[in-house]
Structure formats: structure tokens, C-alpha cells
Amino acid sequence: MMLQLTHIRLLVSNFKECFLFYRDVLGFAIDWGDENSWYAELHTGDNIKLALFRKELMAEAVPSAYQPSAIECHNKVALIFAVDNVDEFYEYLKENNAIIVTQPQDRPAWGLRTAHFRDPDGNLIEIFSNLGS
């Protein structure tokens, strides 16, 4: 038996804002859905789709005994995207009112330059480029 990862699905509370953010600010092409649907698939340039799904619809499919508590906690997931130039993309994000978490910084132990921000639903996103590239 073989498993193949095909989608990363973000369960979001504010579907329309998240859809517009990923389409208009981050520039992902849409493979399925629109800002008024309850589900969308975004083309990430590889074989894995990034999908958005209204959180309450997923909750209907999963019994409440298996849902996490509503208390605030540390991030449980982060989306990581390679970019050509972290500083330029960071400035672009600021100009488009993204929720900035960290400014660009070199992380020599990782061999990367990174910056972090959040989508409209609070999901953590990292952009990076290799140091020396």
C-alpha cells in the first residue's frame, strides 16, 4: 500500500478573505472554486494542491468528539514557500497589508533567509530563500 500526498487543506473560518488573499496577494492560480464557494483548490506549481475549505463544513463531517478544543495554542502547521528574494517579497506583502509576524532575517543554522506572516485566518506562512543565492 502506498500513500500519496495530493492536497494540503486549510480549514478556514473566513473563506472569502482567505480565497482572495491566496489568489490576489500570493498570486496562486485557481484550479477549482471561487470566492463565493465553500471549497477551492489552488495551483502551487507542483503536484500538491493547496485547498481551502470552510471550517464549519469540515466540522459537520467529523464528529465533535474528535475536534480539538477551542483554546488558543501554538501554531500547529506552517505553510512554507520558496521565493527568489525574501526582502522583495516581504515588501510586497507589507504593501498588500499582510499580517507580518517576523521581518526578513538570516538564519545561518538553517542556511536560509526567512520571514513570516499570516493569512486572514491566522495560518502561519514562511517564505525563504537559501543563503548565498
Spell out the domains of the chain, with CATH numbers in brackets: 1-73 (3.10.180.10), 74-133 (3.10.180.10)
Instruction: Quote the pLDDT of residue 55.
Output: 83
The stretches of 21-108 forming alpha helices (DSSP H) are: 55-61, 86-95
- Cross-strand bridge partners of residue 128: 82, 114
Instruction: Quote the pLDDT of residue 78.
Output: 86
Instruction: Quote the pLDDT of residue 58.
Output: 75
The pairing of beta strand 124-130 with beta strand 112-118 = antiparallel
Instruction: Quote the pLDDT of residue 34.
Output: 96
- Cross-strand bridge partners of residue 42: 30, 50
d(CA 87, CA 111): 16
Instruction: Quote the pLDDT of residue 59.
Output: 73
pTM: 0.81
Instruction: Quote the pLDDT of residue 92.
Output: 96
CA-CA-CA-CA torsion for 117, 26, 40, 124, nearest 10 degrees? -10
What grid cell was written down for 95?
504593501
Instruction: Quote the pLDDT of residue 71.
Output: 56
Residues 6+ apart with CB under 8 A from 4: none
**pLDDT averaged over consecutive 10-residue blocks of the chain (133 residues)?**
80 94 96 94 87 82 58 73 94 95 91 93 92 75
Question: Do 121 and 75 form a contact (C-beta atoms < 8 A)?
Answer: no
